[in-house]
Amino acid sequence: MIWDVLIIGAGPAGLSAALFTRMRRMSTLLLDTAVAGGQLASLYPKKPVHDFPSYTYVMGDALGRNFVEQARHMGSEIREGEHVTMLARDEATNTIRVTSTKGAYEARSVIVATGGGAFEPRKIKKPGEAEFAGRGVTYGMPDAETCRGKRVLVIGGGDSALEAALSLKEVADVTLIHMLDKWQGMDAYVEDIQASPRIRWMLQTETVEIRGGGGNGGEDAVRSVVVRNKKTEATEELPIDVVAINVGYLMDAKIVRQWGLELEGNQIRSDNVMKTNIPGVFACGDIATYPGKYKLLITACSEGAAAGNSAYIYVRQPKKFTVGELYAAPKDKGDTQPTGPA
């Protein structure tokens, strides 16, 4: 079978693209190396999302499930646990061959929506971090139930750290520290943190050492963390049970380097209709970049819509739009953004 469109990655971008390709009744296959839902499902299922339109807030796993259910309802086929290793355009047949760990496929168009690829939480590289990993040291959004009644130190100053602190404030004794002199997250989170009497926060404060000791059950776990104020150099030993490190993720998008796509850093260069340098191959979501790019759920969705519609124009060539138009030469000097679907 030749698929009209094969989408690599079933995160918010890929699933949004599928919604639009199915609206066009294109046969649509999504392959995901892990589980459908992307970062929502795998990185922050228990984090509330406050900036997705139409929801006051929604938990990561619930939002991820909605994306998947809608794409399935529209008739997309989603295969999980299938890692794509290669894509190559076949000029003779004008199709694209996609190879995964489970098989080989042929498609008339491909949408690359692989997000950050494989993720690994960034480490703080301080004494005790590796030793107590899994024994009090955690990464990302900590589970509220596990933290209930405990003393939690959240490390980091971006959205993830601020959200982690806010999500625990009702159940735990929370301290938040950040190395820099300013928070780096959304103003709304900063405002909530500063207004909360339940969160102790310290800027310009770094971790010196995570210390442990025998718990009541005899297990060796986190007991305290030594922190230092970078301005005054004063140190303090905080009694702590859980250290929630939220200083970002290392994204490994190495695999797309072998696919012949034009890259900018670790991202695929695309335009406003999500075209790449390979005819018939589009990119959307965190893996795609262009001037003014934001890595957000809402932009992943809108880029998915553009990529899905561009794949439609490319494959079906409806009268209104032609492939020629999609791949038109720039009209004016400096105008490198061809017109997309209306």
Ligand X SMILES: Cc1cc2nc3c(=O)[nH]c(=O)nc-3n(C[C@H](O)[C@H](O)[C@H](O)COP(=O)(O)OP(=O)(O)OC[C@H]3O[C@@H](n4cnc5c(N)ncnc54)[C@H](O)[C@@H]3O)c2cc1C
Q: Binder to ligand X among 300, 311, 315, 326 (CB under 6 A)?
A: 300
Indicate whether 9 belongs to the interface with ligand X (CB under 6 A).
yes
Q: How far is the CB of 230 from ligand X (least distance, A)?
A: 25
Q: Binder to ligand X among 190, 249, 290, 323 (CB under 6 A)?
A: 249
Q: Which two tokens stand for residue 317?
A: 């060539």
Q: How far is the CB of 125 from ligand X (least distance, A)?
A: 20
Indicate whether 34 belongs to the interface with ligand X (CB under 6 A).
yes
Q: How far is the CB of 108 from ligand X (least distance, A)?
A: 19
Instruction: Rank residues 45 and 338 by Cβ distance to ligand X and give the closer one.
Output: 45
Q: Binder to ligand X among 21, 27, 28, 33 (CB under 6 A)?
A: 33
| Distance separating alpha carbons of residues 193 and 203, to the nearest angstrom | 12
Residues 40-79 that bind ligand X (CB under 6 A): 43-44, 47, 49, 51
Q: How far is the CB of 340 from ligand X (least distance, A)?
A: 19
208 contact partners, CB below 8 Å, separation of at least 6: 126, 127, 226, 227, 228, 235
With CB under 6 A as the contact rule, which of the stretches 6-14, 19-27, 124-132, 329-337 interacts with ligand X?
6-14
Residue whose token pair is 């000097």: 333
Indicate whether 113 belongs to the interface with ligand X (CB under 6 A).
yes
Q: Which two tokens stand for residue 339?
A: 């017109």
Q: How far is the CB of 302 from ligand X (least distance, A)?
A: 11
| Distance separating alpha carbons of residues 178 and 228, to the nearest angstrom | 11
Residue whose token pair is 């949408």: 111
The CA distances from residue 22 to 19, 30, 74, 273, in Å, are: 5, 12, 6, 18
Nearest 5°: CA angle at 301, between 68 and 265? 110
| Distance separating alpha carbons of residues 54 and 272, to the nearest angstrom | 25
With CB under 6 A as the contact rule, which of the stretches 34-42, 223-231, 258-266, 305-313 interacts with ligand X?
34-42
Q: How far is the CB of 210 from ligand X (least distance, A)?
A: 21
The CA distances from residue 294 to 120, 178, 288, 290, 325, in Å, are: 21, 23, 10, 9, 26
CB 298 within 8 A of CB 315: no
Rounded to the nearest 10 degrees, the angle between the axes of helix 60-73 and helix 12-23 is: 20
β 28-31/2-8 pair status: parallel
Indicate whether 12 belongs to the interface with ligand X (CB under 6 A).
yes
Indicate whether 207 belongs to the interface with ligand X (CB under 6 A).
no
Binding mask 270-299 for ligand X (x = CB under 6 A): ---------------xx--------xxxx-
Q: Binder to ligand X among 105, 108, 116, 315 (CB under 6 A)?
A: 116
CB 280 within 8 A of CB 89: yes
β 288-289/267-269 pair status: parallel
Q: How far is the CB of 330 from ligand X (least distance, A)?
A: 27
Residues 73-92 that bind ligand X (CB under 6 A): 83-84
Identify residue 59 by its one-letter amino acid code.
M
Indicate whether 191 belongs to the interface with ligand X (CB under 6 A).
no
| Distance separating alpha carbons of residues 243 and 210, to the nearest angstrom | 8
Indicate whether 39 belongs to the interface with ligand X (CB under 6 A).
yes
Q: How far is the CB of 47 from ligand X (least distance, A)?
A: 6
Binding site for ligand X (CB under 6 A): 8-14, 31-34, 38-39, 43-44, 47, 49, 51, 83-84, 113-117, 140, 160, 249, 255, 285-286, 295-298, 300
